[in-house]
Amino acid sequence: MNKPKISIIVPVYNTELYLRECIESILRQSFMNFEVLLVDDGSTDASGSICEDYAAKDTRIRVFHQTNQGVTAARKCGILHSNGEYLCFVDSDDTITSDALAILMEPLQRDIRDIDAVVSSANKDAFISGHEYVRMLLENEKSGSLCGNLYKRSLFKNCRSLDLDKDFPIGENYITNLELGLKIKQIVCLTASIYNYRYNPASVMHVRTYTLAYEEKFRETVEKTLGSEIENFEEAWYKCQLRTLETMIVHRVRFSYDRPWIHRLLKLRHNYSSLTLRQKIILRVRHAVLCRYLLGIEVRIKERLKCK
């Protein structure tokens, strides 16, 4: 087999109901120069056997089994064993369209500029810098998911976010994208939708419990990831922290407005003039129950305006 252009990495954990459909969607690609790395992260159902069955039928598929270490460790295993110039991540309960890889590869095949990544489902088709990509992530203008994108494999060399512990099950994609964004020089954004997320009631996203400990750990990890570059994203970082505070309010996390980072947010509120009504409510109404009520009204007003 020739060296593949793309390595598709699929972390697998107890998704026997969806795994076949996921793999089939990958094998139906119109762009065919790829390999598939299925990383069974200690599944206790038939997922591991399904992986082996497909590997026995298609030489493009390789399977790795490990004890349960979490999705980040599974992705790291896939990256370490990958051969492609570019990496594409797919979760084992999701699917991709048959032209997904062809669409992602098209900018790389027609443009002479050195492109580090291609991301799908963007607001507009554009070439942007890594700095702009990080800003978009911080201001929630772009999904932080790793899935449905292409990344140069070389970007993942010495990638610290791949060593996040298993107790960091939510937001690991976002942290990794931030770290990669700081390395990226040129990135292509595509409006094309090539990734199909499946509602899986057993997924981590749908069974998570919101806690103060996790939200503050997430905030601190973002700050650490930005490192000395944080001064270049002052307003975006401020808005990112506001979103953490909003999450805590909306999901009824118990906290005190006297916590140092929250106190700093309140103190600096006059420094930024581009805040939305929602962000101003979060800053000015320092009573979580009342703030949650007003945020609910704000959402309903927006929905009514959209209907007119």
Give residue-wise pLDDT tens across range 185-238. Answer: 999 999 999 999 987 666 555 567 899 999 999 999 999 999 999 999 999 999
In a domain, 53, yes or no: yes
Distance CA 109, CA 93 (A): 30
Question: Which residue in 60, 72, 150, 141 sits closest to 108, CA to CA?
Answer: 150
pLDDT confidence of 1, banded at 50, 70, 90?
A: very low
My answer on whether 105 and 245 are in the same domain is no
My answer on whether 227 and 126 are in the same domain is no
In a domain, 174, yes or no: yes
Identity of the residue numbered 307: C
My answer on whether 38 and 84 are in the same domain is yes
**Tokens describing residue 198:** 């499946």
Tell me how many domains the chain contains: 2
Is residue 285 predicted with pLDDT exceeding 60?
yes
CATH number at residue 80: 3.90.550.10
In a domain, 302, yes or no: yes
My answer on whether 132 and 92 are in the same domain is yes
Angle at 269 between CA 260 and CA 273, to 5 degrees: 155
Task: Tell me if 204 sits within 8 A of 170, measured CB to CB.
Answer: yes
Count Cβ atoms below 10 Å from residue 93 Cβ, excluding itself: 20
Which residue, of 163, 188, 207, is where some domain finishes?
A: 207
My answer on whether 244 and 112 are in the same domain is no
Distance CA 220, CA 223 (A): 5
My answer on whether 73 and 194 are in the same domain is yes
My answer on whether 279 and 147 are in the same domain is no
Compute the mean pLDDT over every residue in the chain, rounded to the nearest whole number.
92
Distance CA 177, CA 297 (A): 33
pLDDT tens sequence across 50-90: 999 999 999 999 999 999 999 999 999 999 999 999 999 99
Distance CA 243, CA 236 (A): 11
My answer on whether 148 and 254 are in the same domain is no
In a domain, 256, yes or no: yes
- Model pTM? 0.91
What 8-state DSSP symbol labels residue 38?
E
In a domain, 1, yes or no: no
Angle at 261 between CA 158 and CA 278, to 5 degrees: 100
Which residue, of 178, 207, 236, is where some domain finishes?
A: 207
Which residue, of 188, 207, 226, is where some domain finishes?
A: 207
In a domain, 252, yes or no: yes
Identity of the residue numbered 303: E
In a domain, 34, yes or no: yes
My answer on whether 171 and 112 are in the same domain is yes
**H/E run at residue 223:** helix 212-226
In a domain, 183, yes or no: yes
Mean pLDDT of 290-300: 93
My answer on whether 104 and 154 are in the same domain is yes
My answer on whether 223 and 103 are in the same domain is no
Residue 42: how many CA atoms within 13 Å on its side-chain side?
8
139-167 core/surface letters (b: 16 or more CB in 10 A; e: else): beebbbbbbbbbbbeebbeeeebbebeee
Angle at 157 between CA 182 and CA 2, to 5 degrees: 120
My answer on whether 236 and 199 are in the same domain is no
pLDDT confidence of 308, banded at 50, 70, 90?
A: low
Domain extent at residue 282: 212-307
Distance CA 125, CA 264 (A): 36
Task: Tell me if 182 sits within 8 A of 130, measured CB to CB.
Answer: yes
